[in-house]
Amino acid sequence: MLTEAGRGKGLLPPDFDLVADRAWSAARRVHGHLSDREARFLALLATATPAAGVILEIGSFKGRSTVALGTAARHYGAGPVVAVDPFTQPSPTDPGRGSLPSTYETFRSAVRAAGVEDSVEVHQALSQDVAPGWTRPLRVLWIDGDHTYPGAKRDFDLFRRHLAAGGMVAFHDALHPFEGPIRVFVEEVLTSDQFGPAGFCGSIAWAQHRPADGGAFLPARRALARRARRLVSDALGRDLKGLRKLRWKLMRALVPHGPVDPRAWVNLVASAEKR
Ligand SMILES: C[S@@+](CC[C@H](N)C(=O)[O-])C[C@H]1O[C@@H](n2cnc3c(N)ncnc32)[C@H](O)[C@@H]1O
């Protein structure tokens, strides 16, 4: 168990690399699009985010990211992971569904098989229906639900007020051609002095909520925003083809999004008191 005090001191538990390996090897058994690098980064968020509160996942699908977060959170007593998804895919009326299980059944079996069921609280619901009754502070707000601009903005707007100081917001698919996550990250997070350290790991865009001293990180956030802003467009998704797609890929290559060194990261996000 990692104590709250331990999390704010810029120290990583000595067995973290093993736990990150376990998180990835459990997550990779679940169908989904989270990469090795991203699963390890989620394990890092769950382990070392220096704030009190719960981990909220918006958009669970079959449980790949839930298992990555849950494996680390359970190991360090740093949960729970609250998973919110209507689990409506495939719909019972989809042609050809036949006897395929619903994503809800697949999700439950994945979480059980990974041994993290007791660290995951499931809400079969839309995020916008959970938000009005939400009162718990958030250590980690993981947004991987509706990737349209209005959808991603709504999730950020509804839950940002619950982010604990020192907590993290992270958007999946920010470096894939979806209009919402990258635009909300650039326009709402990177421009705001409420946020401090920020970056990308794979297609995850992340930032730390630092209401007391976020302004000190403005030059770094601005430098990142200059590169990331070139990816903001309301014509992504299926409209991205040919030369425009090539240009978008070139612009994406200019945004640093390599693997995160866990030790350097923990030091970067160590609580303001330590700095
Ligand atoms: C990209 S998938 C999530 C992938 C998952 N995190 C993983 O690691 O495999 C998007 C999910 O978001 C869910 N979703 C869409 N809109 C939502 C909303 N408003 N609230 C909660 N979940 C939503 C969908 O049902 C779908 O399962």
pLDDT in tens, 54-91: 999 999 999 999 999 999 999 999 989 999 999 997 66
Ligand 1 site, residue 208, Cβ cutoff 6 A: no
Name the strand (E) or helix (H) holding 120: strand 120-123
d(CA 24, CA 67): 9
pLDDT digits (tens, 9 = 90+) for 157-177: 999 999 999 999 999 999 999
d(CA 177, CA 167): 27
Mutate to test the pocket of ligand 1, among 42, 60, 84 (most ligand atoms within 8 A of CB): 60
Confidence of residue 233 (pLDDT cuts 50, 70, 90): confident
pTM for the structure as a whole: 0.94
Mean of pLDDT over the chain: 92
Query: Which pLDDT value is given to residue 95?
Result: 61
Mean pLDDT confidence for 237-262: 89
Is pLDDT of 274 > 70?
no
Query: Which pLDDT value is given to residue 99?
Result: 65
Query: Which pLDDT value is given to residue 238?
Result: 64
Q: Does residue 147 carry a catalytic annotation?
A: yes
pLDDT digits (tens, 9 = 90+) for 100-157: 678 999 999 999 999 999 999 999 999 999 999 999 999 999 999 999 999 999 999 9
Ligand 1 site, residue 122, Cβ cutoff 6 A: no
Q: What DSSP designation does 60 have?
A: -
Ranges of H-type helices in the chain:
4-7, 16-27, 36-48, 64-76, 103-113, 127-130, 149-159, 179-184, 218-228, 242-253, 262-268
Is pLDDT of 191 > 90?
yes
Query: Which pLDDT value is given to residue 258?
Result: 96
Q: Which atom of ligand 1 is nearest to the CA of 59?
A: 12
Query: Which pLDDT value is given to residue 256?
Result: 96
Set 123, 147, 162, 257: catalytic member = 147
What tokens does 177 get?
């051609």
